[in-house]
Amino acid sequence: MLSRAENEYLCRIGPGTPMGNLMRQYWLPAVRSDELVAPDSDPLRVMLLGEQLIAFRDTNGKVGLIQNNCPHRGASLFFGRNEEAGLRCVYHGWKFAADGSCIDMPNEPAESDFRSKVKAVAYPTRERGGIVWAYMGPRTDPPPLPDFEANLLADSDTVVSILHRPCNWMQGWEGEMDTVHQAFLHAGGTRLEDTVPGTFDYYIARTRAPKFAVIDTPYGTSYGAYRPATEDTYYWRIAHMLMPFYAMIPAGMIGQQTRFAAYVPMDDEHTLHWEISHGLMDPSELPFEAQGSEARAPSARASSDYAPRTTGWYGRFNLRQSMANDYLIDRALQRSGRSYTGIPGIRQQDMAVTESMGAIFDRESEHLGTTDALIIRTRRRMIAAARALEEQGVVPPGVDAPELYRQRSGGVLLPRDVNWWDATEAKRTEFAATT
């Protein structure tokens, strides 16, 4: 559990908060490139770390991310005219370039130099692999982008999938740290006799409560969850939590994963959950033991799963299934035992449990068990990093070390007597070795 003060410290990310300052040290996935379809296309409302921003792609293709309220008298730049390499406020015509500088002030006398004194808050952006990254931190010369394999190798095989989760970012992220729920929430309806002996799914169905090894790593935390497989092996599920809000989950076979997730806070009570995968293999091409339901890409979602997009601050990437319709739970299906939840969709199941905790869960009232070890450790790590930044100015892990993000996760069968971390080093870091 966390005290109320610790919980607040961990969860709140608005301007000036310690955790908000920690996150502002890093580049953040802000907008998917195709949300700003073409030069001079429609501006977009973007809520990021509790700040209302307007994103626009200017005439030259550059993405601006600028404060919502016009520096003159506060009209929203969402209504602005995106024209001739800048966004022009429709109230009195002030115009701002992507870097926030005021490049036209038609309501002031031509000889006035007032224009040169006005600057809108605008954050640097960089576009790579279908993601517009934003840097909201204090440096004039931002750090490098993190070396995420699936973002670096991005091509037509890359899927960048986003879901809006109306709850605090930490609740979403903790769901990724929690490998045990796979056997209940998602696969509790899977009977042992329905799985193929010798597959990962079979081992999960046979032993629903795994044992855990949890370690601190240079980029955050990692875990190995293990359960008996063959007589002399364990099935290990190895995953990484990378600061400040990334996860590499243990689906599939380790070494073949090129995938990461991000829980990017829009504000304290709303999160965009990104999943970026590159070249996921057809399940039938996977090694025998990794074949099964979980090996399929959870990021592949049909557009029909989404509610119509709106231009509001929270109008992007909402699923049709939501708290308002109980995520379309089917009680008859739940009773039948074929589905543990009766809720269709893995991500929708995740949403039901994490969003139903409330916008920011009060962690004073929880009761953590042995399988919550990674959650405990990762919270402590985040709080310690925010404190070190706040009190001693210590730059948090990974900010200046983009290569730390060159990791892979996944499942593997290992002899029972080997050290899981050492035995998987080559597989976990193969990407780093080949580039």
Report long-range pairs for 119-124 (Cβ below 8 Å, ≥24 apart).
119/71, 120/66, 120/67, 120/70, 120/71, 120/77, 120/96, 121/66, 121/67, 122/64, 122/65, 122/66, 122/67, 122/96, 122/98, 123/53, 123/65, 124/99
Nearer to ligand FES, 113 or 155 (CB): 113
Q: Which of the stretches 91-99, 141-149, 307-315, 401-409 binds ligand FES when contact is defined by CB under 6 A?
A: 91-99
# residues near ligand FES by CB under 6 A: 10
Q: Is position 70 an interface residue for ligand FES (rule: CB under 6 A)?
A: yes
**Using CB under 5 A, which of the segments 198-206, 347-355, 384-392, 416-424 binds Fe ion?**
347-355
As measured in angstroms, the least distance from the Cβ of 263 to Fe ion is 13
Residue 274 CB, shortest distance to ligand FES, in Å, is: 32
Instruction: Pick the binder of ligand FES from 10, 44, 89, 180 (CB under 6 A).
Output: 89
Beta-carbon contacts of residue 243 (< 8 Å; ≥ 6 apart):
26, 219, 220, 381, 382, 385, 396, 397, 398
Please pick, from the candidates 174, 201, 350, 355, the single residue that binds Fe ion as defined by CB under 5 A. 350
Q: Which residues contact 58 (CB under 8 A, 6 or more apart)?
A: 39, 40, 64, 82, 85, 86, 87, 97, 98
Is 121 one of the binding residues for ligand FES (CB under 6 A)? no
The C-alpha atoms of residue 169 and residue 267 are separated, in whole angstroms, by: 8
Among 84, 94, 104, 100, residue whose Cα is nearest residue 40: 84
* Closer CB to Fe ion, 298 or 398, in the complex: 298
- Whole-number minimum distance, CB 72 to ligand FES, in Å? 3
**Sole binder of ligand FES in the list 26, 27, 78, 94 (CB under 6 A):** 94
Query: Does the protein bind ligand FES through residue 73 (CB under 6 A)?
Result: yes
72 binds ligand FES (CB under 6 A): yes
Applying CB under 6 A, which part among 26-34, 87-95, 207-215, 253-261 lies near ligand FES? Answer: 87-95
**Segment contacting ligand FES (CB under 6 A): 92-100, 218-226, 246-254, 352-360?**
92-100
Which one of Fe ion, ligand FES, none is in contact with 421 (Cβ closer than 5 to 8 A by kind)? none
Q: Which stretch binds ligand FES (CB under 6 A): 31-39, 72-80, 127-135, 211-219?
A: 72-80
| 75 interacts with ligand FES by CB under 6 A | yes
Give the residue with the Cβ less far from ligand FES, 122 or 154: 122
Residue 267 bridge partners (DSSP): 270
The verdict on 92 binding ligand FES (CB under 6 A) reads yes
Residue 279 interacting partner from ligand FES, Fe ion, none (CB closer than 5 to 8 Å by kind)? none
Partner from Fe ion, ligand FES, none contacting 350, C-beta within 5 to 8 A by type: Fe ion
When the beta carbons of 94 and 274 are compared against ligand FES, the nearer one is 94
Terminal alpha carbon distance of the chain: 42
Within 8 A by CB and 6+ apart from 305, the residues are 319, 320, 321, 345
Residues that bind Fe ion (CB under 5 A): 350
Residues that bind ligand FES (CB under 6 A): 70, 72-75, 89, 91-94
